[in-house]
Amino acid sequence: MIDIHSHILPSLDDGPETFEESIEMCRIAAEDGITTIVATPHSKDGVYEAESDSIVKSVKELNLRLKEAQIEVEILPGAELHLNETLVESLGNGEALTMNNNKKHILLELPFLFIPPGTDKLIGNLRSIGIIPIIAHAERITFFQRNNKTLEQLIKSGILVQITAQSLTGFFGSRERKCAEKLLKHKMVHFIASDAHSAVRRPPILSKAVEMASRITGKEEARALVFENPRQVISLQSETKQGT
């Protein structure tokens, strides 16, 4: 499986603090059947400002250490970019990272409580420069829990949707679980990712959630959320399939 949302790099945000912790997380991921992880530290959210250079450097270091530890997981560079008026500019000058540096997809974090005015315009601006935003943990955003319509319109405008494995397994509470299930039922999900932050509390585990998703969507569609669709994102050439 491929995990496109993970705070796996040490000391850049609220994820692990040391490489040892990162490696422990990767060991858990490998045991769960995850082969590739896009490292997506919080960036440009006013609290954490992981710089592109530090992310790329840390990815290289972690990959080296994983080889030494004989853990068969590959880490790719990325970022969880907070909604920000300067995003188009930051992507243009390389301050903000696309997923696996593909110059095409970004993992976009919206505020949890409300969708700020102008969001659709900003997304339109991103689309106009060829960027496809992937909305991070859509099921945890209160506005989407209450109302599908806006998300439906955003999907029509070309965005993609990621939900969190631990929402499906109930870790975040019943509203998040129900919203995740509803989005799956309405075919409004393109990715299940871990949004892992640690080895224990928020671990990089996808298999349980995929099993639960498959009861709603069927096995093949659930698989696409952790295999085919993320493969399109980390690929540096091909088109990403819309819908599941």
Q: Which residues bind Fe ion (CB under 5 A)?
A: 80, 195
- Closer by beta carbon to Fe ion, 14 or else 152: 14
Measure the CA–CA gap between 29 and 52, rounded to whole angstroms: 24
Chain residue at closest Cβ approach to Fe ion = 195
- Closer by beta carbon to Fe ion, 37 or else 217: 37
**Min dist. Cβ of residue 128 to Fe ion (A):** 26
Measure the CA–CA gap between 226 and 177, rounded to whole angstroms: 18
- Closer by beta carbon to Fe ion, 12 or else 217: 12
Q: What are the contacts of 62-68 at 24+ separation with CB within 8 A?
A: 62/8, 62/9, 62/10, 62/19, 62/22, 62/23, 62/26, 65/19, 65/22, 65/23, 66/23, 66/26
**Min dist. Cβ of residue 135 to Fe ion (A):** 12
Beta bridge partners of 74: 36
- Closer by beta carbon to Fe ion, 221 or else 226: 226
**Min dist. Cβ of residue 201 to Fe ion (A):** 14
161-187 b/e (C-beta count within 10 Å ≥ 16 → b): bbbbbbbbeeebeeebbebbbbbbeee
Q: How many residues does the chain have?
A: 244
- Closer by beta carbon to Fe ion, 80 or else 221: 80
Enumerate residues 6+ apart whose C-beta is below 8 A from 216: 181, 184, 185, 222
**Min dist. Cβ of residue 109 to Fe ion (A):** 7
**Min dist. Cβ of residue 136 to Fe ion (A):** 6
